[in-house]
Amino acid sequence: MLLIDKPLEWTSFDVVNKIRYALKKALNVKKIKVGHAGTLDPLATGLLIICTGKATKMIDGLTGMDKTYTGTMVLGATRPSVDRETEIDQEFPTGHLTEDMLFDAAKSLTGKLQQVPPLYSAKWVDGKRAYHYARAGKEKELTPHTVAVSEFELTRIVLPEVDFRITCSKGTYIRSLVRDFGQSLDNGAFLQSLNRTTIGHFNIEEAETMEGFLSRLNTN
């Protein structure tokens, strides 16, 4: 099992493929099982658990653990992808928003929720990932599912930016929480940055960079 700090703009599968290739070369084998325990969006960074060989049997159990994220959202605008992948399509005033209103919005998104995944997500819909339809400009209705948010803490408010810390269950989309946060204020919101800091008892402080892992592999 490897704890990796996923770089910005890498997909989770980029990390898996790079590690698989490096391990095959280092161990001089033609095949090795490598998988990850929970996807991170390309524009997110942070903790990614990579399992190799027989440890891949543990993946299902690892993906079920709660996760903690920190990040920054921007109020006053929406983007179709709810992150920086797409351009701003609508803007809203934010001068009337108060801290109490923001704290109430966060509280309303704590507990068990029925959450609709983002249109730009890896959710399977009619045999394809949802983002394939979204990028083609096709509307697809995504089914809500139950998630649990045990903590939604606002750690810094300097409008239009709001920093947060969220602890949530498997299957929770942070971009959906940010989207719903804006909607609960009759406003807009999108994700500026996101970092996963914990998965269960595993912590980002224990993780190594891709460069660090590859260097360690090549020197052993």
What are the structural domains of the chain?
2-64+202-219 (3.30.70), 67-199 (3.30.2350.10)
As to burial, measured by CB atoms within 10 angstroms (0-12 exposed, 13-18 middle, 19+ buried), residue 200 is middle
Q: Which residues of the chain have pLDDT under 50?
A: none
Residue 86: closest CA among 185, 196, 179 = 179
pLDDT for residue 16: 96
Residue 220 confidence (pLDDT)? 61
Q: Helices 99-108 and 174-184 sit at what angle, rounded to 10 degrees?
A: 130
Cβ contacts of 197-200, under 8 Å, gap ≥ 24: 197/46, 197/47, 197/68, 197/69, 197/70, 198/47, 198/66, 198/67, 198/68, 198/167, 199/37, 199/38, 199/47, 199/49, 199/62, 199/65, 199/66, 199/67, 200/62, 200/65, 200/66, 200/67
pTM, to two decimals: 0.92
Q: Which residue type sits at 65? A: M
Write out the catalytic residue numbers: 41
Determine the pLDDT at residue 5: 98
Residues 153-165: tens digit of each pLDDT: 999 999 999 999 9
